[in-house]
Structure 1
Amino acid sequence: MGEAANGALCEEIREALRMIIDPELGRNIVDLGLIYDVSVEDGGIAHVSMTTTTKGCPASQYLKEAVRNCVWYVPGVEYAEVRLTYEPAWTPEMMAD
């Protein structure tokens, strides 16, 4: 899979992730700025780096699993790895307008 194909797949993944709604704020996790990075290696191995609104967020595990499952079902993805990080910490300024 070439770089252009990987880039297109990353965009498809981001678009799919818009279906996941943060239970606390009621908006999708992409527009909230919770998805920090999406990359795809050859072989369809997708990596997603994400955060939650607060470090002790009770929905952290739910959101991480939802992201992994959502990415897994995007055509072209063979494996999905989700990494939860708090660097940088999320702020409301990261939300899309």
Structure 2
Amino acid sequence: MALSEKDLENMGEMMVQKFKTIYDPEIPVDIYELGLIYDAFVNAEGQAKVLMTLTSPNCPVAESLPNEVRTKVEEIEGITEAEVEITFDPPWDRDMMSEEAKFELGML
């Protein structure tokens, strides 16, 4: 069964809520506010794709963090599968963090 436009809009909001429950273990801020999520979408068949980055190519959670993102996204009702792609283009930097994250880390 294909998802409606309304369902797809809700999926985006639900994905953001899931991203906000995932933390980089070295930084006490969630991956969404850190700016690690570059793009996320769901098609009408419920297949999700997340394009994200890591704080550095040598990030100690390079293996586990994408798997955690995939698992959390697949928990959303209506999503049949999720793919997580890691990119370093553009490379992450502190300017990608939200104001909330910068405040949390004492950078404002």
TM-score, normalised via structure 2 length: 0.85
How many Å apart are 1:58 and its aligned residue?
1.4
Secondary structure of the corresponding residue to residue 7 of structure 2: helix
The C-alpha deviation readout for 1:15-59, integer Å capped at 9, x for no partner, is 111100101112100000000101001111000000000011111
Instruction: Give yes or no for the alignment of 1:86 onto 2:67.
Output: no
Secondary structure of the corresponding residue to residue 81 of structure 1: strand
Aligned partner (choices 70, 74, 77) of residue 72 of structure 1: 74
Counterpart amino acid of residue 48 in structure 2: A
Identity rate of aligned residues, in percent?
Answer: 36
- Which residue number corresponds to residue 43 of structure 2? 41
Counterpart amino acid of residue 17 in structure 1: F
Looking at structure 2, the residues matched to 4 and 37 of structure 1 have their Cα atoms a distance apart, in angstroms, of 19
- Which residue number corresponds to residue 19 of structure 1? 21
Secondary structure of the corresponding residue to residue 60 of structure 1: coil
Q: Which has the higher helix share?
A: 2
In the TM superposition, structure 1's runs of 4+ consecutive aligned residues that sit over 6 Å from their partners are none
How many Å apart are 1:7 and its aligned residue?
2.2
- Which residue number corresponds to residue 4 of structure 1? 6
Structure 2's unaligned 5+ residue stretches are 100-108
Looking at structure 1, the residues matched to 63 and 97 of structure 2 have their Cα atoms a distance apart, in angstroms, of 21
Secondary structure of the corresponding residue to residue 31 of structure 1: helix
Structure 1's unaligned 5+ residue stretches are none
Looking at structure 2, the residues matched to 17 and 75 of structure 1 have their Cα atoms a distance apart, in angstroms, of 15
- Which residue number corresponds to residue 95 of structure 1? 97
Larger C-alpha radius of gyration, 1 or 2? 2
